[in-house]
Amino acid sequence: MKLWPPIAATVFALCVWQAIVTLTGVQKFILPSPALVAETWWLNRWIIAEHTLITLNEVLIGLVIGISLGVVTALTLASSKTVRTLLAPMLVFTQALPVFALAPILTLWLGYGLWSKAAMAVLITYFPVTSAFFDGLMRTPPGYLDLAKTMQASPRRVLWHIRVPSALPNLGAGVRLAAVYAPIGAVIGEWVGSSKGLGYLMLLANGRAKTDLMFAAMLTLGVLSVLLYVLVAKLTRGLGDRET
């Protein structure tokens, strides 16, 4: 992977940001300069690191559980028409509900600790994985299925030896999408009720008019999300590149 395109894009964005601050003379409590944000980040690096570890823990737990549940659900839906009839509408309905509406309920049920935030990450990552993997399982090339039928393969063998390998690229795409969504779910949970994490730090800084600290926490979250996506993309590269 070439590094110069993201580096060039980052430098360009910082230059535009600094130009806006310089040309408009905007107050620092509205839009701090990149230099001020960098200085604030350095002065508060240990505090930011502590909150980052909390959010990362929530994201990883939610991501692992969400992906696991998504894979199991997709396999179950693909294996049984009855289950598809009963569960598919429920899955669509749950995704139609705003995430913010569920966050207070999860906080009430699971408390203000780690698990309510991890549950938010699970909810927001579960459906993309389920949908992508299930779509792949149901779009197996007809030639493979005809060959399996000719050889009198059992439904179980067809699922594990034909449908699942054929759907792995879809699973990889769903997992990569989940890696992008997971931090969003965790931070939403922290906004609703928390005493730790980058989402909490952003709210705290905003309430105290420390916009530079809020930007520092927000950019840290952005970097964390990008690194998580790159890591997941590397881990799922074999799935995404596999040819059916």
Looking at residue 82, what is its pLDDT?
84
CATH class, 44-241 region: mainly alpha
Quote the CA–CA distance of 172 and 178 in Å, as a whole number.
10
pLDDT grade, residue 183 (50/70/90)? very high
pLDDT grade, residue 140 (50/70/90)? confident
Looking at residue 243, what is its pLDDT?
43
Half-sphere exposure of residue 207: CA atoms within 13 angstroms, side-chain side: 7
Looking at residue 8, what is its pLDDT?
83
Residue with tokens 């569920």: 102
pLDDT tens-place string over residues 80-121: 888 888 887 887 777 777 777 788 888 888 888 889 899 999
Best CA proximity match to 67, nearest among 141, 147, 188, 172 = 172
Quote the distance between the C-alpha of residue 184 and its chain's center. 6
pLDDT exceeds 80 at position 72: yes
Mean pLDDT of 165-181: 92
pTM value?
0.87
Quote the CA–CA distance of 42 and 220 in Å, as a whole number.
12
pLDDT exceeds 80 at position 3: no
pLDDT exceeds 60 at position 174: yes
pLDDT grade, residue 244 (50/70/90)? very low
DSSP string, 90-102: HHHHHHHS-HHHH
Q: What percent of the chain has pLDDT over 70?
A: 96
